[in-house]
Amino acid sequence: MNCFCRKLFLCISILVCVFLSGCSVNRFIPEDKYMLNHVSIRSDNKELKTAPLTGYVAQHPNNKWFSLVKVPLYIYSLSGRDSTKRFNRFIRRLGEPPVIYDSILSQKTRLNIQNAVQNMGYLNAEVKLLEVSNKNRVGIRYYVLPHQRYKVSDVQTDIQDSAIARELYSGGYVSLLQDNMPFDLNVLEAERNRLNTFLQNRGYYKFNRDFVHFEADTTLGNHQVDLKMILREYVEGRGKEEKPHQRYTIGNVEYDIPVSHNKPFVRPKVIASANELAEGNMYREQDVQGSYSRLNRLGAVQSSRITLTESAEDSTKLDALISVTPSKRNSFNVELEGTNSAGDLGVAVAFSYQNRNLFRGSELFNLKARGAFEAIKGLRGYNDQNFIEYSFEAGIAFPDFIFPFLRQSFRKRALATSEVSFMFDSQDRPEFHRRVLTASWRYKWSRAARRMQHKIDLLDINYVFMPWISDTFRETYLDNPESRNAILRYNYENLFIVKWGYSFSYSSQSLNPSSKNYGTNAYIIRASIETAGNLLYGISNMSKASKNENGQYTLFSNAYAQYVKGDFDFSKSFLINKANSLAIHFALGIAYPYGNSTILPYEKRYFSGGANSVRGWSVRELGPGTFLGYDGKIDFINQTGDLKLDMNIEYRTHLFWKFDGAVFIDAGNIWTLRDYPDQPGGQFHFDTFWRQIAVAYGLGIRLNFNYFILRFDGGMKAIHPAYEDSRRHFPIIYPNFKRDFTFHFAVGLPF
């Protein structure tokens, strides 16, 4: 560690010690009271997991940053006693007052934990409360003595409604209740909910969980329980006569659609196609919820309501009235942004228009125009010193599958959109002019639970046209035999990309608040595959088309790209407590050019570094492999690859007010699959790639406004694979802040 880092570390250590020692919280603890210092739960039975029991603790101690230091408490302690002073009030809002121990809440917690453990089948469980005080601090330990767990010896059922009994047996209902299972009240509650869901999806509109009761006989001895489940007949009110539960079908279905300009604001067919309640069908609660999901995702609809009433003509039928409220049809938006590219300042402005009901079918139409200007300094040998860009983008999304021969049953099961978009982008730089034209036709869909989402790019066309390249740039980088760069040259030629792709994402966290795993630890999986040029190559080969001087087939005199690309991304969060969590991330991507291409198009190549990758490096500053950039003007091309690996772990904590903090470790790199002369050391090899994995560490500050997050991350290089000498290869041992530190600003979490 160099002298500067030692001094910096020493100064920070002294400041921290002075800060902590000077922040006495004693003056904020009332006399004869105690500050709650820590809370723990222990058990003498290893089979009983105590971590879930923390949710029953009624009083928690002060929050700790990264589960280590109670910094919010110390911040609060910086304030004076006079709460009328503005400074004191401000400091207190940033910090957290000491938690004063409440013996009533501790007894409540003890009973909560005891009841929870008893509900798990440990009917004789006890919870002892141990208080350990030291001066004006107190620590609390809840010691659980579960004793022996009860088991269900025999399960009996008493279903008083014969029609429901037949439905359960014929419908293949599998009960959670089994002989010899642990006696667990949570399982009994889950069984009530499952029965309720099962029957409400089979016509029993008025059935609810209160009709299911349990009787448990715990007097058998030997910790055995006889269990009986009773499903009662329908009772409309207290003192009323019991009768069989009524099974309903759907009767008349009517729509209440507001009128605009003497016409319904949206075509009735659109609302009808979103409705899953069909006349004559058996009532199913999932059809009601599915209809809500479909109606509320229509851009033209602000809100919806489904009213079910018993038919006056037939008491076994439910008439449905579906009412919708229109949303605002048109919206405009203006965005102004400043840019800074390596010290070159610029400005960009974008205008966008959105119509949520273009043809009265809830079609979402987007139109966007953007212009940017940047003054480029210090570029010798070029006439024009400015960068000018303008682009136009238009797209329309239909709230259904627009595809022939697609079965109606699939349309009903999936929440789908069909999208068509066009974009034109013009870039005029001092070195070159580039024009990009894209057109796409894609489908997106998910099921009602929306955990799994799919996307198919049925057709995606990209045409890159280079109308002008300056003589200076061409002579220096493209035609000069001494510095000719094949990757660079390929990416400054006219190019066609005609691709097809499929991607999906899955989240284990349910969007339904009543679901068992709503709001708990969740993982997300994303995967995609795309391929380009295969159809064109097959047609060219079969027709024996001629090739250009580079041995490539062409379309309209332009070579087209041919490659296959696949990506996999996994992330998972672990909730430690309300203020702390741990997140991990793994991503792998690989792309291979073949047939008509030996090099991937620049837009399809991978890069490493940046705010969402290995944060010790800037974007496109790392790799491939051990390659080290040498020309800042073209390194953005050279520092790309065909294979990418990212591994991240991040500990996140709440600091104060809207501020969150994070400490992270990142690892990864990119590689090429072929040995390109312009990227020495960049090729992937199984026996050496692990030595070329770069590592970084750092700290982050996040401003969390719930609906968006501003992120500031500072990363330090720990292992730099491009260097062989130990001082540069292991900057974690020989740090140099000016050389190894990289700052990132981004919106949203990195993963």
20: pLDDT strictly greater than 60: no
So what's the pLDDT on residue 439? 97
The answer as to whether 171 is a domain residue is: yes
So what's the pLDDT on residue 340? 59
Instruction: Place 481 in a pLDDT band, splitting at 50, 70 and 90.
Output: low
Element (H, E) at 271: helix 268-274
CA distance 210 to 207: 8
Q: List CB contacts of 166: < 8 A, sequence separation 6 or more.
A: none
Among the listed residues 133, 126, 188, the one whose alpha carbon sits nearest the alpha carbon of residue 155: 188
Q: Which range among 1-15, 124-138, 164-178, 343-357 shows the weakest confidence by mean pLDDT?
A: 1-15
1: pLDDT strictly greater than 50: no
157 lies in the same domain as 141: no
- 551, 541 in Cβ contact below 8 A? no
The answer as to whether 716 is a domain residue is: no
So what's the pLDDT on residue 514? 39
97 lies in the same domain as 117: yes
CA distance 489 to 175: 67
CA distance 430 to 295: 51
CA distance 507 to 530: 22
Among the candidates 279, 306, 326, a domain finishes at 326
CA distance 616 to 740: 7
Which amino acid is present at 689? F
CA distance 316 to 246: 7
The answer as to whether 725 is a domain residue is: no
Among the candidates 145, 176, 206, a domain finishes at 145
Range 73-86 average pLDDT: 83
- 723, 697 in Cβ contact below 8 A? no
123 lies in the same domain as 256: no
List 332's β-bridge partners, or say none.
Answer: 353
Domain that holds residue 170: 151-231
So what's the pLDDT on residue 74? 86
pLDDT 10s digits, 564-590: 999 999 999 998 888 899 999 999 999
Where is pLDDT greater, at 34 or 412? 34
- 728, 721 in Cβ contact below 8 A? no
- The dihedrals phi and psi of 87, each to the nearest 5 degrees, come to -60, -45
Instruction: Place 14 in a pLDDT band, splitting at 50, 70 and 90.
Output: very low
- 368, 352 in Cβ contact below 8 A? yes
86 lies in the same domain as 10: yes
Q: List CB contacts of 21: < 8 A, sequence separation 6 or more.
A: none
The answer as to whether 288 is a domain residue is: yes
Residue with tokens 């929050």: 63
CA distance 182 to 739: 61
CA distance 167 to 207: 14
So what's the pLDDT on residue 226? 94
Q: What is the pTM of this model?
A: 0.83
Cα–Cα distances (Å) from 215 to 152, 225, 227, 228, 444, in that order, read 12, 10, 6, 5, 49
106 lies in the same domain as 222: no
Domains held by the chain: number: 3
12 lies in the same domain as 137: yes
So what's the pLDDT on residue 427? 92
Among the listed residues 535, 531, 466, the one whose alpha carbon sits nearest the alpha carbon of residue 501: 531
169 lies in the same domain as 295: no
So what's the pLDDT on residue 381? 65
For the chain, the first-to-last Cα distance in angstroms comes to: 32
Both structure tokens of 276? 């899953």
- 692, 721 in Cβ contact below 8 A? yes
pLDDT 10s digits, 381-405: 666 678 899 999 999 999 988 877 6
181 lies in the same domain as 91: no
So what's the pLDDT on residue 263? 92
Q: List CB contacts of 170: < 8 A, sequence separation 6 or more.
A: none
Q: In whole numbers, what is the pLDDT of the chain averaged over residues? A: 88
CA distance 121 to 185: 7
CA distance 731 to 220: 69
Cα–Cα distances (Å) from 628 to 623, 636, 682, 692, 723, in that order, read 7, 12, 9, 12, 8
So what's the pLDDT on residue 449? 60
So what's the pLDDT on residue 79? 85
The answer as to whether 737 is a domain residue is: no
Q: List CB contacts of 599: < 8 A, sequence separation 6 or more.
A: 486, 487, 490, 491, 593, 676
187 lies in the same domain as 110: no
Range 309-337 average pLDDT: 94
CA distance 643 to 625: 10
Among the candidates 199, 231, 263, a domain finishes at 231
316: pLDDT strictly greater than 60: yes
Both structure tokens of 595? 């047939």
Both structure tokens of 621? 């500053």
Instruction: Place 2 in a pLDDT band, splitting at 50, 70 and 90.
Output: low
CA distance 666 to 616: 8
- CATH number for the domain harbouring residue 278: 3.10.20.310
The answer as to whether 599 is a domain residue is: no
Instruction: Place 91 in a pLDDT band, splitting at 50, 70 and 90.
Output: confident
Q: Is 595 left (phi over 0), alpha (psi -120 to 50) or beta?
A: left
510: pLDDT strictly greater than 70: no
The answer as to whether 98 is a domain residue is: yes
Among the listed residues 304, 286, 321, 285, the one whose alpha carbon sits nearest the alpha carbon of residue 206: 285
Range 311-335 average pLDDT: 95
Structural Rg of the chain based on CA atoms:
33
177 lies in the same domain as 301: no
- The dihedrals phi and psi of 682, each to the nearest 5 degrees, come to -95, -10
So what's the pLDDT on residue 283? 97
Instruction: Give counts: helices (H), strands (E), the chain.
Output: 15, 29
So what's the pLDDT on residue 517? 44
Among the listed residues 563, 502, 495, the one whose alpha carbon sits nearest the alpha carbon of residue 533: 563
60 lies in the same domain as 16: yes
Residue with tokens 């407590």: 577
Instruction: Place 125 in a pLDDT band, splitting at 50, 70 and 90.
Output: very high
Looking only at Cα atoms, what is the longest distance across the chain? 98
18: pLDDT strictly greater than 50: no
SS3 content of the chain, % helix, strand, coil (to 5): 20, 40, 40
pLDDT 10s digits, 639-648: 999 999 999 9
The answer as to whether 192 is a domain residue is: yes
140 lies in the same domain as 162: no
Both structure tokens of 484? 């000719």
So what's the pLDDT on residue 707? 81
User: For 145, what's the count of Cα atoms within 13 Å in the CB-facing half-sphere?
Assistant: 5
* Helix pair 185-200, 162-170: axis angle to 10 deg: 90
pLDDT 10s digits, 411-459: 666 788 999 999 999 999 888 899 999 999 999 998 756 688 999 999 9
pLDDT 10s digits, 651-677: 999 988 888 999 999 999 999 999 988
So what's the pLDDT on residue 17? 46
